Structure 1
Amino acid sequence: MASSSTITTSASASSSSVGDDHHHSFGDAAIPSPPPPTPSNQSLANSLPADADAAFSRLLHQLLATPTLSRPSPRLRSPHPASPPVISFDQPLRSDLLLSAASDFGFFHLAGHGVPSDLAYSAVADSQSLLQSQWLPVNNLLSLGFNHDDCDGESLDHDDQDRILMLDTSENGDADGFASFPALQEFSKCLEKMGLGVVQMLSSMERGFCENPFEKRNYTPRCLLWISSHRDCSNTGKLASQMGNCKCYPYVVGLQYEMNWWRQPCYAIGDSGERICIAPIADSILVTLGDIAQVWSNRRFKKVRSRPQPPSLPFDGRDDSGCISVTVLVTVPLDSVISPLMPLSVDGCVTNIGDEGDDDDDDGKRFHAFCLEEYAWRVYHERLPLKDPLLRYWI
């Protein structure tokens, strides 16, 4: 019996030794335990919670993240230069191109105008001399028709950023020394002729002005020569700020000769208040449509809210001379009442043929009539507001 007991004990010890890795002893009982994890299911068990936590963390971050809301700053953008159609003045009118330029852009390049480039160069030289002269008033509101009493005792709008001179080309220039600069005088007359020609082109095309307002309506053309000098025009950031302080005046069409030294786009404020840049075409005339043109077209045309400003170097290459800008504005007298040009019937009454979408208006007009004097004063002093100044007259 002792021998049998010894064998049993040895077998039990051997069995216990062999299964030591698979059993835990609690007294005399042996309870099986689960097998050790393999490398595959161990990595799966560790990775699933981590991936789930990461996914949940990302989802929670997206749900709780505050959206970034920023007010758009169109004038601080750097848009690509616009490429409007080129209209040739000495060729048969392409109404489709002109309509596209007027309704899609609000500006275009005029070629075949016949204005000599050397005359334009001499006119800019005269303009610089005129701005630097001490005997001629600068920033003269009288040329616009405003009285000194309207300034509330302030000076005639001297500005740190630019100097402005306005001359009425339809008046006798001997009194203000305009005749002393024959090149500038001839140049302004050439651009004035081109401007009146553009109005005729806009009147003769389909879906343009229903007729020439200077020939068939009681509007008298008035042409202003607007000369300005601004600094740091090669710095785009300063140019954007400078454009916000740029003065303007209501006009039908504006004309600027595109000098061959313009190496960078011109900048202007578009119809919706956005900053637009216009790639120059050397020796062409840049034509912009203004507030009055948009009203006359019954809002079929887009407008440019400002005078385009070239940011390139000045014509004489001296950084301290400022950038000279010479613009001819075709406008109307201050006492004019501006309203859409609607077709007239045989008896002289306005016919009811509004555009699509105008059925809710009794006569198809999209603007109320308004006096130019009050509007011009506000536009000149508000300096390119973000809100469309014509919005208050919309129907």
Structure 2
Amino acid sequence: MGKRSVPVIDMQDVSGLAEKIVRACEEWGCFRLVNHGVPMELMAEMKGATRSLMDLPMETKLKNSHPEPGKGYTPPNMASPYFEGLSVYDMTSPGAFDHFCSQIDASPHQREVLEKYGFALHDLAQLLGSKLMEGLGLSGELFKGWPCQLKMNKYNYSPETVGLTGAVMHSDPGFLTILQDDEIVNGLEAVDTITGELVPVDPIPGTLVVNVGDVATVWSNGRFCNVKHRVQCYEPTIRTSIALFVLGPKDEKVEAPPQLVDSDHPRRYIPFDFEDYRKLRTKTNSPTGGALKYFLTQSS
């Protein structure tokens, strides 16, 4: 029997779509979307904009600053010697794209592409949220008002880095991540929750990868898997990717809805503030979500 592979979900196949998405969140915490509704031309334009922005001089990229670590530019040697990333934090807040583009002097065309792409992925995230609610038999809007972060990533690989790790093993701290991976240069690997083996998440052009994070595990009362994943260097060339992170509620605690808690499924986690949790992850050096143990209830 061969290795299991990450589920592929066709968004146009509406029969049982909500249930398929919930099952993928439970069994893998990772899945690939086809026919997701984001235009191919826009994805290609965003990849081109990402490449041109990541090629800017270092002194320009460093102007993408934020008072809090991880919310602005990530230079090489902060997360990995081979990784760097530009970031639009809380991208739906008024003026977020204007502020980012003024920081690094992006062109009007680049600004237009970034904003169109960011909001196309934000719309897709809202749709995924509604499908998760539907699949769990819940009502309401899941991600309404939640901050989202758009991040453009570049892996600077060389012959000396082949076989090394470009992004260390981690889970994402937020609820979910929608990733446009490099359609040519592979490297993304996810942990199979059943076998514990690393499984390559091979690229399929025109598709998107969804990773489920720590907040989703807590919100689902432990049903959803915060997938552990990493990026390896398979070949000596530049690798780029673009991620939209749906983080956590801004003015409310992260907690499971009461409908997901009963005598057979007691509450597993104490409610917490997302920003406090993110800082605790850093403070305790818990890249794979180990800091969640501090919020386990006595019944867990």
For residues 120 and 234 of structure 2, the distance between their equivalents in structure 1, rounded to whole angstroms, comes to 24
CA contact (8 A) 1:145 1:334 kept: no
Query: In the alignment, does 2:20 pair up with 1:97?
Result: yes
Query: What does residue range 217-296 of structure 1 map to in structure 2 within 5 Å?
Result: 220-232=145-157, 237-239=163-165, 242-244=166-168, 250-262=173-185, 264=186, 266-268=188-190, 275-296=198-219
Gaps of 5+ in 2: none
For residues 282 and 199 of structure 1, the distance between their equivalents in structure 2, rounded to whole angstroms, comes to 24
Query: In the alignment, does 2:98 pair up with 1:174?
Result: yes
Aligned residue in 2 for 1:206: 136
Query: What does residue range 1-395 of structure 1 map to in structure 2 within 5 Å?
Result: 80=3, 82-89=5-12, 91-134=14-57, 135-137=60-62, 140-142=65-67, 157=78, 159-168=80-89, 169-171=91-93, 172=95, 173-177=97-101, 180=108, 181=110, 182-206=112-136, 211-214=140-143, 220-232=145-157, 237-239=163-165, 242-244=166-168, 250-262=173-185, 264=186, 266-268=188-190, 275-306=198-229, 309=231, 322-332=238-248, 336-343=252-259, 353-354=261-262, 356=264, 358=265, 364-380=266-282, 385=287, 388-395=290-297
For residues 296 and 113 of structure 2, the distance between their equivalents in structure 1, rounded to whole angstroms, comes to 42
For residues 126 and 294 of structure 2, the distance between their equivalents in structure 1, rounded to whole angstroms, comes to 28
Structure 1's 330 and 123: CA in aligned 2 closer, same or farther, altered over 3 A?
A: same
Structure 1's 249 and 142: CA in aligned 2 closer, same or farther, altered over 3 A?
A: farther
Shift of 1:303: 1.5
Structure 1's 142 and 332: CA in aligned 2 closer, same or farther, altered over 3 A?
A: farther
Shift of 1:105: 0.8
CA deviations over 1:338-363 (Å, ceiling 9, x no partner): 111223xxxxxxxx95263x4xxxxx
CA deviations over 1:254-301 (Å, ceiling 9, x no partner): 111255425x46224566986442233321111111111111111111
TM-score of the pair, normalised by structure 1:
0.60
Please state which structure has a larger fraction of its residues in helix. Answer: 1
Structure 1's 205 and 269: CA in aligned 2 closer, same or farther, altered over 3 A?
A: same
TM-score of the pair, normalised by structure 2:
0.77
Shift of 1:327: 0.5
In percent, how many aligned pairs have the same letter? 18
CA deviations over 1:41-82 (Å, ceiling 9, x no partner): xxxxxxxxxxxxxxxxxxxxxxxxxxxxxxxxxxxxxx9462
| Partner secondary structure for residue 240 of structure 2 | strand
Aligned residue in 2 for 1:37: none
Amino acid at match of 1:379: R
For residues 276 and 158 of structure 2, the distance between their equivalents in structure 1, rounded to whole angstroms, comes to 31
For residues 246 and 82 of structure 2, the distance between their equivalents in structure 1, rounded to whole angstroms, comes to 25
| Alignment length (residue pairs) | 280
Shift of 1:210: 6.2
Gaps of 5+ in 1: 1-78, 148-154, 314-318, 344-351, 359-363
Amino acid at match of 1:190: A
CA contact (8 A) 1:269 1:304 kept: yes
For residues 381 and 89 of structure 1, the distance between their equivalents in structure 2, rounded to whole angstroms, comes to 42
CA contact (8 A) 2:61 2:86 kept: no
Q: Which moved more, 1:170-179 or 1:107-116?
A: 170-179
| Partner secondary structure for residue 186 of structure 1 | helix
